[in-house]
Amino acid sequence: MSKVIVTGGAGFIGSNLVQELLKRGHQVSILDNLSTGRLSNIEFLLDDKNVAFVRGSVNNLALMRRLFSGTDFVFHQAAVPSVPRSIRDPRTSHLANATGTLNVLLAARDNSVKKVVFASSSSVYGDTPTLPKVEDMAPNPQSPYAVSKLAAEQYCRVFEQVYGLNTVCLRYFNVYGPRQDPGSPYAAVIPLFINSVLAGKSPVIFGDGEQTRDFTYVKDVVTANILAAESPATGIFNVGSGFRVTINRLAQLIIKIVGDSKIKVVHREARPGDVLHSLADISRAKTFGYRPRYTLEDGLPEVVEYLRQLVK
C-alpha cells in the first residue's frame, strides 16, 4: 500500500482517480477546496478506512507541508479548468494553476515525495497546424489557462532538474466521463451536448463544427496517471485517444445514442481562445504502458446513462 495525495480529488477527474486508487488498496488523502469540485463526487467513498478528505487549497502551503508528510505519490489534479473562464478572469486561473502547482512542488520537495504526477493540458500546444501534437513541439498557448498550465509544466521540469524531485506532466486531451459537471457556465462540450439533447433541446456548436478534437475517456486518463506514477517515467506525455472527431460528428453521435432524431444542432459564432484542431500522438505515453481502451462509441453511452440518472 502506498500513501498518496490527490489534489482536486473531489473534482471530475480527481474523484475517478481516487476511486481507482482505493480499489487498488492505496491510502488516499484528498485535498480540495470545493470551488470546482463537489463533495457529492466522493461522499460514497468517505466510509472507506483508507481515505481522508481535507478541505483546503493548494495555495495553503503550510497545510500541504503537513499533509504531504510520509506521502509516496502526489497526483496534482487541482485547477480552475476552463479556457473561457481564464479569459474572463486570468488572475484566478494563474493563482490556482501556476502558483498552486508551485506550492504543491514545494511541499512535495520538502517531504521527499517519490513523484508528482501533474495534470497538464493539450491547450499548451495552441493552434499550431501540425497534427498530431507531439510533446517536443514548440508550445503556442492561446489563453491564460494554457499559459498557466505551461508555466506549471516548467516548474515541474525545474524542480526535477534542480531539486531531484521526480515529476510527470500529462497533457490531457479533452477528457470526458461520469461526474463531469454539465451545469457550470464553463461546462465542457460533451456534458453540455448530452444535457441539451436529453432535454429535447438543440446542442449549440460554436463555429462551423468542423473543428476536431481528440476526446479521452476519464477511465483511460486514470489509468495513465497510475501507470505514470508506478513507472520510472518522468517528463511530458500526451494522454489522448489518438483519434479525432469533428464537433458536428460528436453532436450527431450523441443525438443517435439518446435516440431523438428530431433534434437539430444550432451554430453560433466561434469563441476566442478555442483551437481549431487537436490530436494526440500517444507514442511517448505508450513507453510506460498507456493503451487507451475506450472509443467515443464505448464511452458516450456511459456518460449519457450517468446524466440521464441525474435528471430523473
The residues annotated as belonging to the active site are 145
The secondary element (H helix, E strand) that includes residue 189 is helix 189-198
Max Cα-Cα span within the chain: 59
Q: Among 265, 268, 267, which residue's Cα sits nearest to residue 252?
A: 265
**Which three cell numbers, joined as nine digits, stand for 280?**
494526440
Sort strands 212-213 and 245-246 into parallel, antiparallel or unpaired. Answer: antiparallel
Answer for the pair 156, 167: CB distance below 8 angstroms, yes or no: yes
| E-only strand ranges, 27-96 | 27-32, 51-55, 73-76
Pairing of strands 115-121, 175-176: unpaired
Contact between residue 77 and residue 14 where contact means Cβ atoms under 8 Å apart: yes
Q: 12: which residues sit within 8 A by CB, 6+ positions away?
A: 41, 175, 177, 179, 180, 181, 218
- The amino acid occupying position 50 is N
